[in-house]
Structure formats: C-alpha cells, structure tokens
Structure 1
Amino acid sequence: MKQFLGIVFFVFFGSLQAQEWQNSFDEAVTLANAEDKPIVLVFSGSDWCAPCIRLKKQILESEEFKAYASEHYVMYNADFPRKKKNELPQALEETNTSLAEKYNPKGHFPLVVVLDKHQSVLGKTGFNVRTMPKKYISILNGFIQ
C-alpha cells in the first residue's frame, strides 16, 4: 500500500511540475500577460525533422527543463508535421504558418524564439546535440535579461 501511495504522490507531484504546452498561441499570449512570463515559441517538424525530435527528447522533455519551464516560461509549439496521420486542424495550421511568416521566415527547424509578453523577439536559437538542459535554460534566459 505504501508503494502505491508513493507512486500516486510522484505522479501527482510530477504533473504539477511538468511544463504545460499551450493549445493555441492566443492562449500563450494571454497567459504570458497574466503571469508576466516570456513565451518560448518552438518551431518544429515533429515527424520529419531529426534535430527537432532530438531537441524534444534531449532538452524539452528532460525533467530539469520541464520543472524550470513550468515556473518561468509559457510554452508554445508551432509544429509542421508532414505525415497525413499527424495533420493539424486547419485553424492551428494557419496559426502556425502565420507565426512562421513573422518569426521564422527562413524556415529554420528547429528554431526556438523567445518572445516577451508583447510578442517582441528577445532572441532566437537552434539546437546543438552537445547542449544539456541546464545550458539550454541559460541560453534562453540570456535573451530575457
């Protein structure tokens, strides 16, 4: 029974610490204004871009990054999947395309853009396989200072 309660505690505590990806960019902007946090806008190709997949696995899904991001950033993923089975709803696809035209006109993938709550660009970065979560957090925070 103690083991079961321990598992329930860690699942519940982990869900509180996990960063939450916003479902729409409008929600991200609203939350950024309400909580006075920067927006981390990630341009990715989730089903075709190998560096995007590595960024997600190595950095964005790491416990260290998720815990930090939940307290300090508003997260939004502008995804551009290519496979039919991963196709986005038309409205979301249009939003992501509009964001790409504004913030990623050269079409770099992955591209991580840090925005202030007014949607002004504070900085942009990509992904290096040698970068660890702590260093990536430092890079993002360097844009905010």
Structure 2
Amino acid sequence: MKKNLLIIFITIGFSFVSKAQEEALTWHTDMNKAFEKASLENKPLMIFFTGSDWCGWCIRLQNEVFKTPDFKTWAKNNVILVELDFPRKKQLEREQLMQNYQLQKMFKVTGYPSVHFALASSTQDGNKNLNSLGKTGYVRGGAVKWLEIANNIVNQAN
C-alpha cells in the first residue's frame, strides 16, 4: 500500500513539474540568438531593461505582469523575449555586460524598468537592424492594462 501511494505521489509530482516547464517562458539574454529567433519566427523583440535585484518597479512589473498566465500566453504568440539585466549584487559575464550597456545606449534607456519593442531585420550585406516600434515601462492596472499598451505597440508591425 505504501509503495502504491509513493508511486502515485511521484507521478503527480512529475505532472506538476512538466506543466510548470510547459508554461515557462524563454527570456533570452544573448541578443544575437534572440535576433535570429525573431527573424525566423517573424516576431518583434520585446526587450526588457531591468535591475533585477534592486529595482522595485522592475520587480513589480515582473510579479504583476510577466509572471501572469495572460502575459505568458500573449508573449508566446506575439514576441521574442529579451532580458537585459543591470544587477548590483550579481556579477554578469563581461561580454553580456558590454552587450547590455551597448543596447542601453542604443535605445537611450535612462530608467528602469524600460521595455522596448523592435523588429529585427538584416541587410543584404549581413548587417543587423533593430527598428523600434515603441516602448513602455511599469503600468498600473496589472497584466490587462499592460498588455493593452503592448498590443498597441506590437500591432504597428502588422
């Protein structure tokens, strides 16, 4: 009897783990990989500039919007996610840090959180272009309000 119960609990546990893995979003930290994926899937990039371990508004945006089922469904269908982090406690690899600062400068980010939407395109000579669609940040009202704004920006690409 105990053996059967253990098997049942293990089976239930695995189903929860696989369900959580299905729902997990992929946040790219390598812009080149995200660029390639966006080009292949013909989706805009959603580039999230954050101070993950110190920015209160960034953490609120994550909790109130990015971790919700509505956002997860929307993101999977509409964008390729990129997270460019500027932490204070955690050390980033030098290459990633340089990439993040270069993109911060390119998008003229002066505050956090900052979310930019851009189309990825390549020229015939292989140069990569990011064409800005718009930007937003933290928006009061949770996922519904935030997604309303994001949809307005992303729909410009269509």
Normalised-by-shorter TM-score class: 0.7 to 0.9
Report which stretch shifted further, 15-24 or 42-51.
Answer: 15-24
Runs in 1 of length 4+ with deviation above 6 angstroms?
none
Cα 1:87–1:16 change in 2 (3 A) is: same
Two-structure CA RMSD over aligned residues (Å): 1.7
Residue 19 (structure 1) aligns with:
25
Which has the bigger relative contact order, CA under 8 A and spacing at least 6? Answer: 1
Contact 1:44 1:80 (C-alpha < 8 Å) held by counterparts: yes
Whole-angstrom distance in 2 between the partners of 1:91 and 1:82: 17
Which amino acid is 1:117 matched to?
Answer: A
**Alignment counterpart, residue 116 of structure 1, candidates 116, 119, 126:** 119
Whole-angstrom distance in 2 between the partners of 1:63 and 1:75: 15
More strand by share: 2
Q: TM-score, normalised by structure 1?
A: 0.87
List alignment gaps of at least 5 residues for structure 1: none
Contact 1:40 1:76 (C-alpha < 8 Å) held by counterparts: yes
Q: TM-score, normalised by structure 2?
A: 0.81
Residue 94 (structure 1) aligns with:
98
Count of residues in Structure 1 that have an aligned counterpart in Structure 2: 141
Which amino acid is 1:123 matched to?
Answer: G
After superposition, what is the alpha-carbon deviation per residue over 1:90-143, rounded to whole angstroms, capped at 9, x for unaligned? 00000000000111x251211000111232110100103x32112222211111
**Alignment counterpart, residue 41 of structure 1, candidates 47, 51, 58:** 47
Contact 2:29 2:84 (C-alpha < 8 Å) held by counterparts: no
Whole-angstrom distance in 2 between the partners of 1:106 and 1:78: 11
